[in-house]
Amino acid sequence: MVGLPARGKSYIAHRLARYLNWIGTKSKVFNVGQYRRELVGVNMSYDYYDPFNTTGAQSRRMVASHVLDTIIEWFKEDPDNAVAILDATNTTRDRRDLILERCPPEGIQVMFIESVLDDTFIEERNIREHKLRCPDYQGCDPDDAFNDFSKRIENYKKAYETLCLNLDRELSFIRVSNITQFHINNLLGTVQSKSAYFLMNIRPHTKTTLYLSRHGESQFNELAKIGGDTNLTDNGVRYAKKLGKFLQENNLTDIPVWTSIMKRTIETCSHLPNQNVQRYKCLNEIDAGRCDGLTYKEIEEKYPEEFALRDLDKYNYRYPQGESYQDVCCRLEPIIMDLEKQDQVLLICHQAVLRCIVGYFLNLSTDEIPYIKIPLHTVIKITPVAYGCEKEEISFGVESSVTHRDKQTQESIERRLLALDISHGDSSFVSHEDMNGHSGNNNIISDHVIKT
């Protein structure tokens, strides 16, 4: 990252890391401020950041070098580690040159993302909402802390050298001005292009509150069958009516409702007071292919190998003639981009779809996403906080079936695979993916990329 303090760099860094992790590119944010507090201490006054303070400048360069060492080691620890986001000011060419000297020799591509903000109102809000809560100002008077941080910014301005084409034509960079204007230069590869796509779709100062709900209990839920396109049970209808009452009592009757095109979600929406209901096919439940309409027990009996392979890697496993969780995430990407721009939305859809959406907003791994609990007859409220989100569950006390299946132990999976004479590297699993024209690792980026 590049930019003066309080320009939304940390916010952008965490949002970008969340998105890249969600699409299968393992990413991590390295905040230089946290390392500085560990190495040098807290309560550093604004003088520490004066570019003419030789001692402070040497200390800050030492911290920057230490963080780069940590990043390089992180890449070496695991070949799946793909993107490191260096969350720091990097406001001088000297500091950016340090990054360019250290990273390319290690096989790490470098792209800079600069955040420029001229709006003094947003700057002050950023300082008061985020910066004054950091450990540097614990126990300080808010006004004194605000004045100190403002002077810190003035010190950075003394040496600030923005990215520009005249001097930085050979670099890969994205310059974001006042949230809405983008200058993109010399991007290389898929990750950098996807990063630009994401940044052009988010609104950093929009705080989206989401209300998520599955449809009311369906006839297939009651029979413990997966998939299908059945109507609601009596309990499902009762839930839909209670959901409508909840919306009225909380003044949420004007928010848009997004739903799938399946009977059980449409019927649930028919009991709501909201008029703005939009249907999207990409919100349909995961396609179970040949397993659609079967219970888990029937799948285990009829397709024992498929049943075992799904437990082995539930996120990447694709139902025969159907979909995987990875496929669902891919078709949900346009919805995620739209959700980033909304103030409030109610989504009424399905278990696997909501797992993918909740996984995105809570920054959960691909191992965790397929096992997120999304119970029937429950509203999940997602609220943005600082650089992440909080989840709250609201239950209405309407009886329903339990459709969650816990993650199986590695021992039980190994035992079943052994009984079926399947190993982890069994070619039948690869053939199953190839047969459908996909690869379970098509979103994995092999090159190390560092976003600074």
What pLDDT is attached to residue 130? 81
CA–CA gap between residue 69 and residue 268 (Å, rounded): 54
b vs e for 394-425, b when ≥16 Cβ sit within 10 Å of the residue's Cβ? eebebebbebeeeeeeeeebeebbeeeebeee
Res 441: pLDDT: 34
Backbone angles phi, psi at 355, to 5 degrees: -60, -45
The position carrying tokens 């060419």 is: 93
Model pLDDT, residue 445: 32
The pLDDT value recorded for residue 204 is: 65
DSSP summary character for residue 183: E
Asked if 72 and 37 touch (Cβ cutoff 8 Å), the reply is no
Lowest mean pLDDT segment, chosen from 84-98, 283-297, 356-370, 410-424: 410-424
Mean pLDDT, residues 272-283: 97
Average pLDDT over residues 158-163: 96
What pLDDT does 317 receive?
96
Mean predicted confidence (pLDDT) in 144-154: 94
**Whether pLDDT at 105 is above 90:** yes
Q: Taking all residues of the chain, what is their mean pLDDT, rounded to a whole number?
A: 91
**How many angstroms separate the first and last alpha carbons of the chain?**
4
Give per-residue pLDDT as tens, 9-66. 999 999 999 999 999 999 999 999 999 999 999 888 999 999 999 999 999 999 999 9
CA distances for 192 relative to 390, 412, 447, angstroms = 29, 41, 11
Share of the chain above pLDDT 90, in %: 79
Q: How far apart are CA 216 and CA 219, in angstroms?
A: 10
Cα-based distances in Å from 357 to 132, 184, 332, 337, 360: 31, 29, 8, 11, 5
Please state, in angstroms and rounded to a whole number, the distance separating the CA atoms of residues 291 and 307: 10
* Catalytic residue positions, numbered: 214-215, 221, 264, 285, 350
pLDDT in tens, 176-204: 998 789 999 999 999 999 999 999 988 76
pLDDT at 363 over 80: yes
pLDDT at residue 178, as a whole number: 86
Q: How far apart are CA 342 and CA 334, in angstroms?
A: 13
pLDDT, mean of residues 379-384 = 96
Enter the DSSP assignment of 287.
-
Please provide the DSSP assignment of 301-370 as one string: HH-HHHHHHHHHSTTT---TTS--HHHHHHHHHHHHHHHTT-SEEEEEE-HHHHHHHHHHHTT--TTTGG
Residue 106 clears pLDDT 80, i.e. is over it: yes
Mean pLDDT, residues 271-281: 97
The whole-number average pLDDT for the span 435-452 is: 38
- CA quadruple 396, 399, 404, 409: dihedral sign: positive
Of 386, 325, 387, 385, the residue nearest 357 (C-alpha): 325
- Counting residues of the chain whose pLDDT is more than 70, the rounded percentage is 93
Are 68 and 432 in contact by the 8 Å Cβ rule? The answer is: no
Across residues 82-107, what is the average pLDDT?
97
Q: pTM of the entire structure?
A: 0.88
Contact assessment for residue 229 and residue 263, using Cβ atoms and an 8 Å cutoff: yes
